[in-house]
Structure 1
Amino acid sequence: MSKTGIKHVGIRFEGETCQISVWAPIAKIVICRLCDNNLEIPLRPLKYGYWYAESTLITPGDRYKISVDGNELPDPASLSQPEGVHGPSEAIDLRFNWTDQSYKPPKNSEFVIYEIHVGTFTSSRDFDGVIKKIPHLKDLGITAIEIMPVAQFPGGRNWGYDGVFPFAVQHSYGGASEFQRLVNAFHAVNIAVILDVVYNHIGPEGNYFSNYGPYFTNKYHTPWGDALNYDDRFCHGQRDLVLNNVRMWFEDFHIDALRLDAVHAIKDFGAVHILQEIRKETDQIIINSGKNRFLFIECDLNDRRFLDPLTKNGYDMDAQWLDEFHHALRVSVGEPKKGYYEEFNGLNDLAKAYEKAYVFDGNYSSHREKFFGTDSFGLEGNRFIVFCQNHDQIGNRMLGDRAVKIYSSEIARLMAFAVFMSPYLPLLFMGEEWGTEKPFPYFISHSDPELVQLVREGRKKEFEDFITNSDVPDPQSESIFRETILDWDELNSEPYRQRLLYYKSLIALRKTNPLLKDVQRDELKVKCIEDKKVLLLQVKKKEKSIVVIMNFSDHVQHVNLPEDFKWRMIFDTHETQAELIVGTDKPVITSYPLSPWSGYVYSSQ
């Protein structure tokens, strides 16, 4: 809990009593007005700019607005916005009949993550659609889903990063109770739920925060405008908001982990960083609940401080998305060195990413024109999350095209193999497992024509380094959006079924092989045979060993295996039948021709 002692903001029910809490430090009069009967409930001022009231006149389902010095607005801490971002807020009760008391989240090393955008995952575009795909996800073998942001956004379609009500679950997805039902259903089959949250900016349309108080500061600027206020005058209001939000997701929604978007864009130079406070808040929730909770971050600073413990004045986040692994992998398979790929040198950098996580760990970055990054020595592999596709790395492409649209099936298989053979936590993006070609460009449904045009112009500028003959997809276009919705009927035909079998086998290998499922970075030896474009990884544990070989060239290569063991092949990315891939008896070998764009796993006898 923050220093102000505020337990929660907005409207909450305790029995039949409704507690109303609003932060408006400059206001003279604050009133909660019920829309249906115009009943007004005056709030009294408390310390630190808070206003408070208790009432039995509000019941779940009532619509209300907050009047701040006569200006009626939606509640910034609203739990529900059934009429959209400009409409009244709805008072709802978050109490839910949970049945997950015996559920325990996976250990750090056991996460196999599947990223989902609720609005495009199924044709119903809601939480119920996701719930109905639980058998598919369980059979696939993943241990956690990661839900892209669900905070209420303008209109009915959005990536989720334009959310303007951080406590309100998107109404078109099903709202709070349906999201709770989703979490409960996944916990019933022992799949964890990670939620993507955005604490670095608030979306532009429906953003009423500044009408209440200085939630923003002009001390710093971000790609979205003025920064959220984490260290300027009155910053306790924004800090309280975030800590309350973290507590709500963990306690009221039983979320297992939060993925914090772009924490490098959080501007906080105070003595105690907001991430440190989030860590402490989360640790207290773990103690109170007896269940683990995790904090994952997106960060492009290559700064180990985000992962170092609080005792070293670090931020102690549990894991970080490792974009540099992705960039090095893409260049290794032939991605043109443009934009943020320009300074990656393919296989050598990929080898470094396997071994040291950060490619830029204090060396010179030509893209940034400075020496960049810190080392990651001593940080375990499960502190990093890797991928060959995710929402950003697909959506950051001008056409939002997926790997199978760009590369051959052999290369796409090799890329996935490279991810699952790493000592890091693997993540895949929805539909990747069956090789759908459905694009995933950025999309919106704003109502302000001027704002829509600004977004269009911004997208065109973003792709200046990736000029092609194609037009930049219109993010406001509903037809562009509808092209992103997954077609589950694809699973009834080839080559999709064989691709799915491959991913199942790959995930099963990762989860069941004792040397792969919990690889420690100091157990992994990496060798780059640059002239052959071959990468060799070896893991040793006691008397056992495995060797992973990847051929990133377009022709056959021959590589001798280490002589300290006799070897048997247990995985080949070119095999097409799942039952032939894992655990098949193969003759003992010392050298084996490596097919173009292929990967193999050899186990010691």
Structure 2
Amino acid sequence: MAPYTFELFAPYNKQAGLRLKNANARMFGLDIPMELNEQDGYWRATLDLADGIYHYQYKIVTKSWFEPEPEPALPDYTNDETKTFEENQENRKNHYNEHEKLVQEVKQRNKKREEEITFTEVWYTFVDPYATEVDERGSDDAFRSVGILIFKNGKKIIDEYEWKYDNHVPLVSNDKLIIYEIHIGDFQDKFINVTAKMDYFVELGITAVEIMPIKEFPGTIGWGYTPRYYLAIENAYGTTAELKEMIDAFHKHGIRVIMDGVYNHCDVSAPYAAIDHDYWFYHEPKDRVYCWGPEWNYGRYDEKYQVWPARKYISDSIRYFISEFHTDGIRFDAATQINNEEFLTAIAQQSREQARDRGYAPNFFCVGEYLPDKIESVMSNGGPMDSIWHDSLYWKLREAIVFDVLNWEELKNVIDGRRQGYKNIIDIVNYQANHDHDRLLIELGKERQIFDADAFRRVRMAFAFQATSYGLMMIWMGEEIGEYKEKTPGVAKLDWSLIEDREDNSNAINKEQLQYYKDVIQLRKLNPALTTPNLEFIFEHENDQIMAWYRWDTTTDDIQKPENRVVIVCNWSSTTYEKYEILNIPRNGRWYEWLNNDKEYIAENNKLTIDNFIDHTIRIFIHQTKRCDNDKRSTA
């Protein structure tokens, strides 16, 4: 037996209690009173515990002004194989319409409670906000869930996983990030299944994964953007040890792990919403249009206890994840709505310092979702973030690829982010899709009825475009294999059969798509020109809809190595040119086409003639300087 202290910060609530039982027991015993320390605002109860697994809950006299009713979980709709694609789509739509109707009914009831009822002496039962494991006990009802405490050798433990690969290989610096956004459930269901698919990530060539939220959320299906418990992971995905094993495997292969963090809002049934809503959250949403749950109030300071309550809780949760799970970065969801740059600056700096001090993987990456993107949000312009999602590039690229709308100057602005005011290559993350948007294949089919080879060609063009533009790059899972499922917060599992071997080779186009992505990623990794700030537009013909830009790297001091020079030529038109002459090529001599088996071209008089320039394609040429017998570079 050893003493263990349960504690809860709830400084202005009248009474609090603890419910505790062995995990094997069916029912809780008598409530255990907790005592308030007026000096620090914590309720505490200290008990002697034997080693074992315990379930526990807290009870408190609420100070919240209404009783939140949890929203229903998302429906799990599985396609009926006896129905057509259109019939399944219609049924899926009906399921989600019914769900949305239920959600709106819950919101209306909660609003009515807020307007009509004031509770005074109501006890709430809830899970410890600092619980590191939660059992929802098969219900979406937060008040039936329990926290799990594992007690061994006289102290609390999380699990017994031993890290193996913290210093196995160096992890790439921020300027070399090639990010793959992944939803655990739709990618491969569980942490252990993602770990089993590690070879796929390695062969694809990415250098970081950005994992959509995995903190415990209501139900078992969803994107995780309404977290209920900030230190517990979603148990539908697996255990803490399995999560660590997955992260360890990524690190073994030199792949960094960025976690998606939701710090603007939480689930309506999160513990602090039941304890003392207005102490932790804004009473009213800052913006009713963009409101997804109670919004953390980072501007509230408690003079009596010298604490910023919301800031401290979120700060503690971030420290825990970096320390316990060895993460390498955070994506700050809805950073625009957080609207507190002071807090974001402090929390981002805290995270970087914690990573530097841990003795391994010192680089940390803070990337914010600002919609629209704004230059003031990145560190190079005085903001809190290392980087932000390049939302403006997405919209301009979508206009050009899907709708054939070309605004020449606006396209150039997003290709070269310096024209928008970004100063460093890491300031922006370029993408053609993410979890919030349909993949371009879907957009092309729905909006323009463009399918098959024509659609795949445009998607490849978009990928090469983002990979060769100024900034970092990100892939939304599935786009690389030609996944054709619409965006949904429900179930949309990747169809891995798209790249499996088939006797009839009916998925050849999907396999070609994957190989194209691998080739472009390899170019991005091998050629330093694409991760320097050097970018210049060298050719434009608006009538022909041909544009070319030039990337180069001249930082090497090794005379044995040629300078890295890359020319990117885009055919935005619907015309295939049998021959097309590009002027202003920066170097004469041999140029090799990266995506065409290194086909050789000769530039003379700073002109390069491209053959068979197919509509909606990008051609990428790498300069190879000629070497003389004495191994010095020539001036060819």
TM-score (norm 1): 0.77
Alpha-carbon distance in 2 for matches of 1:297, 1:161? 15
Q: Contact between 2:5 and 2:47, CA under 8 Å: does it hold in 1?
A: yes
Quote the residue 1:81 is aligned against.
Answer: 134
CA apart distance, 1:409 = 1.5
Give the match for residue 596 of structure 1: 615
| AA at the equivalent of 1:97 | E
1:350 is aligned, of 395, 411, 418, to 411
C-alpha distance in structure 1 between counterparts of 2:282 and 2:261, whole Å:
21
Once the two structures are superposed, the pairs formed by residues 86-105 of structure 1 within 5 Å of their partners are: 86=142, 87-92=145-150, 93-95=157-159, 96-103=161-168, 104-105=170-171
CA 1:56–1:497 in 2, change beyond 3 Å: closer, same or farther?
farther
Structure 1 pair 400–155 and aligned structure 2 pair: CA distance change class (3 A): farther
Deviates most, 345-354 or 412-421: 345-354
Gaps of 5+ in 1: 1-14, 338-344, 362-374, 444-480
Q: Which residue is 1:276 aligned to?
A: 345
Amino acid at match of 2:183: H
Alpha-carbon distance in 2 for matches of 1:216, 1:395: 35
For 1:293, the equivalent position in structure 2 comes to 364
The one-character-per-residue Cα deviations of 1:496-545 (angstroms, maximum 9, x if unpaired) are 211111111111111112322x221x444465432222221112333553
**Is 1:487–2:495 an aligned residue pair?**
yes
8 Å CA contact 2:373, 2:392 repeated in 1: no
Q: Residues 323, 564 of structure 1: CA spacing in aligned structure 2 closer, same or farther, 3 A cutoff?
A: closer
- CA–CA distance in 1 between the matches of 2:443 and 2:455? 18
Report if aligned partners of 2:527, 2:564 keep a CA contact under 8 Å in 1: no
Instruction: Note closer, same or farther for the CA distance 1:418–1:397 as it changes in structure 2 (3 Å cut).
Output: closer
Report the Cα distance in structure 2 between the residues aligned to 1:197 and 1:570, rounded to whole angstroms: 43
Residue 175 of structure 2 is aligned to residue 109 of structure 1: yes
Q: Does 1:210 align with 2:273?
A: yes
Whether 2:447 is the aligned partner of 1:425: answer no
Which residue among 17, 21, 29 is the counterpart of 1:38? 29
Partner SS, residue 592 of structure 1: strand
Distance 1:398 1:218 in 2: 40
Matched, 1:163 2:227: yes
Q: Distance in 2 between matches of 1:336 and 1:23?
A: 57
In 1, the alpha carbon distance for the partners of 2:544 and 2:47 equals: 74
* Paired letter, 1:561: L
Matching of residue 547 in structure 1 with residue 567 in structure 2: yes
Between the aligned partners of 1:336 and 1:38, the Cα distance in structure 2 is 68
Q: Which residue number in structure 2 is paired with residue 386 of structure 1?
A: 430
Tell me: CA distance 1:328–1:64, structure 2 relative to 1, closer, same or farther (3 Å). same
User: Which deviates more, 300-309 or 401-410?
Assistant: 401-410
**Counterpart in the other structure of 1:265:** 337
1:67 corresponds in structure 2 to: 59
How far residue 139 of structure 1 moved from its aligned partner, in angstroms, is: 0.8
Report the equivalent of 1:536.
548
Report the CA distance between 1:172 and its aligned residue: 0.7
For residues 570 and 181 of structure 2, the distance between their equivalents in structure 1, rounded to whole angstroms, comes to 26
Contact residue 266 and residue 294 of structure 2 kept, 8 A: no
User: d(CA) in 1 for partners of 2:40 and 2:338?
Assistant: 23
Deviation track 1:52-88 (CA, whole Å, cap 9, x = no partner) reads 4554427563111011134321222322222255211
Write the mapping of 1:188-227 to structure 2, written as runs, cut at 5 A.
188-204=252-268, 206-213=269-276, 214-218=279-283, 220-222=285-287, 223-224=290-291, 227=295
Distance between the aligned counterparts of 1:413 and 1:160, measured in 2?
A: 30
Distance 1:397 1:561, change over 3 A: closer
Within 1, Cα distance between the matches of 2:329 and 2:317?
A: 13
What does residue 26 of structure 1 align with? 12
TM-score (structure 2 length as normaliser)? 0.74
1:260, distance to aligned residue in structure 2 (A): 0.8
Shift of 1:34: 0.7
**Displacement after TM superposition at 1:347 (Å):** 4.0
Q: Is 2:384 the partner of 1:316?
A: yes
CA contact (8 A) 2:416 2:535 kept: no
Tell me the equivalent position of 1:455: none
Give the number of aligned pairs.
510
Given that 1:34 and 1:62 are in contact with CA atoms closer than 8 Å, whether structure 2 keeps it comes out as yes
Larger Rg: 2
| Match of residue 460 from structure 1 | none
Structure 1 residue 399, shift from structure 2 partner: 8.8
The AA in structure 1 aligned to 2:496 is: W
Structure 1 residue 398: Cα displacement: 9.7
Identity of aligned residues (%): 23
- Residue 328 (1) aligns with residue 328 (2): no
